[in-house]
């Protein structure tokens, strides 16, 4: 499905307002995507300026969320939005909430990076697994934002499918960290830092899936939350 | 502020619809509150039937969320909701999302309880700290739902204030668990289970605060997210 629905308004002004909201969501999403990448890099390289940037970016993300939220409320109050337009506005309100939460998780990773840089660091290659998990969830968010931009919901099943890999990586990392903790209890604090980062990345994957589900609702008008991957696949083929 | 605003509608039917939505949110909230209590008890007593009940309840919570969401969308589509009514409907959509998330966290605690019951259990009094933290966040949610029912937003500052105690308890528990892990690495798996539960309870406290912030927006029409406790206090006195 393309964006043509948005062009069908009698009111060109209403049309412009909806386009403006969509663009702001994509800008906010791009910023959050960058936060994930920088946070994981700051953690693995120990670049503290980068970590500080991620923490600063979170204020911008919060401000964007509140601004877009308010814009949607104004449109809802002034226009009798119906059908697709109403779903678009409500979806935006839900999606920016997920994005704000992802930004918080990226900020948490950046704060752990700062904390870790103050403790003894081991070789960066030790962080390979987390870097890879970071790339996976960043790709998921990128894909979700692309679905929002192009409304190509047939891509949703690919993105939600990636979450299985994220969960598998997460389980492996946790197992590995527990083995390292048991092998040398002096590692426990550093291993716990990595454990929190793995957990945050795993959550980001879930939130990217939520974004996809919201967009499916916007486009199809069907609530596909709490479906299994197979059920979702079936629904999208209908 | 009382509920009288809700009584001011020309359309008695619209009024009935809004009341119905509010009551369903309170029913959903009550169910989630019970999930927290049962999940923590199941964990500390090893009562597996109770843990299974919490996991089953999560399906009810998900179903309620989707039903209330749909009801709000129908009202938004059919009525030109404005001002307070519009804020009420959008707030409900946000609040049930937080409640659904709290339900998921309670379900996670119940699943850990099941996992723990399959491993060697130590004396229940070891779980005192987590039980107390569970009571704290349950009270926070109860308070938040009471604010929603009575719209007495002056109580919000008390509830968000409790979150400081939750965070303090959380930090103490994490420190304690790390000490226990270092003392005996054979404890690590069980200590990590408790660590995940502490983390879930800490998140529930945050989500209860989010619920309060949404309700302040509904009543005052002001977005008070991302404020410090002192800034929030000042805003509520305005």
Summarised one tens digit per residue, pLDDT across range B48-60 is 999 999 999 999 9
Minimal CA separation from A182 to chain B, in Å: 5
A185·B181 Cβ contact <8 A: yes
B6 lies within 8 A of chain A by CB: no
Q: How confident is the model at residue B1 (pLDDT cuts 50, 70, 90)?
A: very low
Q: Tell me, yes or no, whether A224 lies in a domain.
A: yes
A225·B185 Cβ contact <8 A: no
Q: Tell me, yes or no, whether A3 lies in a domain.
A: no
Residues of chain A with Cβ-Cβ distance to B182 below 8 Å are: 185-186, 188
Q: State residue A125's pLDDT score.
A: 58
Q: State residue B176's pLDDT score.
A: 94
Burial zone of B161 (CB within 10 Å; 0-12 exposed, 13-18 middle, 19+ buried)? middle
Looking at chain A from residue 132 to 191, which residues have their Cβ under 8 Å from any Cβ of chain B? 178, 181-182, 185-186, 188-189
d(CA A114, CA B31): 40
Q: State residue B6's pLDDT score.
A: 55
**Confidence (pTM):** 0.94
Q: State residue B171's pLDDT score.
A: 97
A86 lies within 8 A of chain B by CB: yes
- Identify from B83, B86, B182 which residue to disrupt to test chain A contact, counting A C-beta atoms within 10 A and taking the largest count: B182
Report the domain count for chain A: 1
B178·A192 Cβ contact <8 A: yes
| pLDDT < 50 stretches in chain A | 1-2, 7, 124
Q: Tell me, yes or no, whether A4 lies in a domain.
A: no
Average pLDDT, chain B: 92
Q: Tell me, yes or no, whether B132 lies in a domain.
A: yes
Which CATH number is B92's domain given? 1.20.58.220
Summarised one tens digit per residue, pLDDT across range B150-202 is 999 999 999 999 999 999 999 999 999 999 999 999 989 999 999 999 999 99
Q: Tell me, yes or no, whether A51 lies in a domain.
A: yes
Residue predicted with more confidence, B108 or A117: B108
- Domain range for residue A199? 12-237
Q: State residue A84's pLDDT score.
A: 95
Minimal CA separation from A90 to chain B, in Å: 8
Inter-axis angle of helices A156-183 and A128-150, to 10 degrees?
Answer: 160
Q: State residue B11's pLDDT score.
A: 76
| C-alpha distance from residue B128 to each of A117, B40, B118, B119, B173 (Å) | 34, 10, 20, 19, 10
Q: Tell me, yes or no, whether B6 lies in a domain.
A: no
* B228 pLDDT more than 80: yes
* B138 pLDDT more than 70: yes
Q: State residue A12's pLDDT score.
A: 87
* B84 pLDDT more than 70: yes
* B121 pLDDT more than 70: no
Q: Tell me, yes or no, whether A120 lies in a domain.
A: yes
Contact at 8 Å (CB) between B102 and B208?
A: yes
* B219 pLDDT more than 80: yes
Q: Which member of A65, A182, A199 has the closest CB to residue B185?
A: A182
Q: Tell me, yes or no, whether B102 lies in a domain.
A: yes
Q: Which member of B73, B80, B189 has the closest CB to residue A178?
A: B189
């Amino acid at each position: 499905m393309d964006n043509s629905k948005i062009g069908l308004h009698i009111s060109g002004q209403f049309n412009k307002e909806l386009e403006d909201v969509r663009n702001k969501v994509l800008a906010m999403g791009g910023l959050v995507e960058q936060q994930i990448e920088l946070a994981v890099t700051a953690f693995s390289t120990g670049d503290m300026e980068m970590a500080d940037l991620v923490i600063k970016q979170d204020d911008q993300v919060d401000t964007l969320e509140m601004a877009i939220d308010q814009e949607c409320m104004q449109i809802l109050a002034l226009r009798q939005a119906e059908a697709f337009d109403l779903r678009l506005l409500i979806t935006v309100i839900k999606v920016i909430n997920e994005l704000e939460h992802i930004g918080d998780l990226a900020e948490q990773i950046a704060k752990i990076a700062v904390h870790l840089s103050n403790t003894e660091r081991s070789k960066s290659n030790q962080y390979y697994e987390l870097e890879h998990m970071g790339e996976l969830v960043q790709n998921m968010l990128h894909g979700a934002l692309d679905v929002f931009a192009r409304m190509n919901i047939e891509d949703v099943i690919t993105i939600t499918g990636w979450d299985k890999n994220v969960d598998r990586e997460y389980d492996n990392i946790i197992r590995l960290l527990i083995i390292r903790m048991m092998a040398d209890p002096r590692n426990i604090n550093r291993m716990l830092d990595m454990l929190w980062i793995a957990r945050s990345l795993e959550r980001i994957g879930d939130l990217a899936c939520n974004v996809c589900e919201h967009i499916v609702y916007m486009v199809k008008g069907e609530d596909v939350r709490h479906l299994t991957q197979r059920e979702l696949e079936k629904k999208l083929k209908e």
